[in-house]
Chains A and B, each alone.
Chain A
Amino acid sequence: MVDFDPKIIAFCCDQSGYPSADMAGSLRLNIPKNVEMVRVPCAGRVEALYLLKALEKGADGVVLFACYEENCQYLRGNLRARGRLSYIHRLMEKIGLEKERIEICYLATNSGVKLVETLQRKTEELKRLGPNPCSEGK
């Protein structure tokens, strides 16, 4: 699967993921090119359906960038996101899809380097897993 370039949807919390992505851009860090960022007001806004739909509609992996625990501007948005991710992981196991395709990553406002490292690692992981067999058009 040499030519496989995994498509990643990155949901970015407006308080952590998005400023970190902004910082990564300012620092000219090497963000994998096949990443689509979706800016959300809080990780807690990301419903379980969004995670699954991303995979169904063509993504090979999803990363949810949320604030560190006890650091959520809306108090529990990151915890809600984590709960929904667990629910989706269980669902993915039942339909025979690798749960490693979706992960949550906790960031601070200035975690540009960690964001890029996470996306690079995810890209390598997804290359090993191969294309998402459940997505439309594959």
Chain B
Amino acid sequence: MIKAEQKPMEEILRSIDPYKKILLSGCGACVTVCHAGGEKEVLLLASALRMARKKIGKPLEILEATPSRQCEPEYAQELSELSEKVEAILSLACGVGVQTLVRFFPKMPVLPGVNTTFLGETLSHGIWEERCQACGNCILEKTGGICPISRCAKQLLNGPCGGSSKGKCEIKKEADCAWQLIYDRLSSLGQLYKLEEIIPAKRWGIESRDSGLRRIIREDLKI
């Protein structure tokens, strides 16, 4: 899922400084799971912002809402009525959710309250780690299910760089070397022969972000 972190309080306060009444909108999906922008975080941040503004003598009125998924038009539309009563929207959804609101409310300033950080996995409660960079052409079948694009600092496709030590990355000492993980995994599966296949360089300009905005169109689903 998408992982995010709440922006520093100073930055949020600065962005809402011109407004007296805002809508604070969370999202019931990914950012709820990573505790960055769910219903609880909306209530907590709203309370903190009101108190911060009260202290400096500039009271702030906040409407609170948490649609199930802010990145889906049907749910984003739920905010229409509330948006008419405010001067700006502070969104705790990921960058996608923020831009969905921008599309729906063209005359309303929509401000981000979180930094969308990565696509990751929950390691344990309160700890998340990156697992996918949405590169557009998954090679997990060839690497035992361990992604060298997201987990190797150098994004190497055909074996380790030689700088790892005792299974740890030389760039980030606390991180496992992705290629050590790949080797161990393929070894335990009895599939080390897969390492003999050369993985060609990724076509970043065709499959990935380098060619500009990506879009998926499913003709069978279009209405």
Contacts and interface: CB of A to CB of B under 8 A. Distances in A.
Interface in A50-107: 52-53, 55-56, 91, 94-97
Contacts of B43: 49
Contacts, number: 44
Contact of A52 (B9, B48, B56): B48
Interface in B10-59: 10, 40, 43-44, 47-52, 54-56
Contacts of B49: 95
Given A56-B50, A91-B48, 9 more contacts: A48-B44, A52-B47, A94-B10, A94-B52, A95-B48, A95-B55, A96-B55, A134-B51, A134-B52
Contact of B40 (A49, A55, A135): A49
Main secondary structure of the interface of B (DSSP, over half): helix
Contacts of A95: 9, 48-49, 51-52, 55
A91 B54 contact: no
Contacts of B10: 94
Nearest to B41: A49
The 5 closest A-B pairs by CB, nearest first: A134-B51, A95-B52, A94-B9, A52-B47, A134-B55
A135 B50 CA distance: 9
B52 A52 contact: no
A41 interface: no
A130 interface: no
A68 to B, nearest CB: 23
B44 A52 contact: yes
Nearest to B12: A94
A133 interface: yes
11 contacts: A47-B40, A49-B44, A55-B51, A91-B44, A94-B8, A94-B48, A95-B49, A96-B52, A96-B55, A134-B51, A134-B52
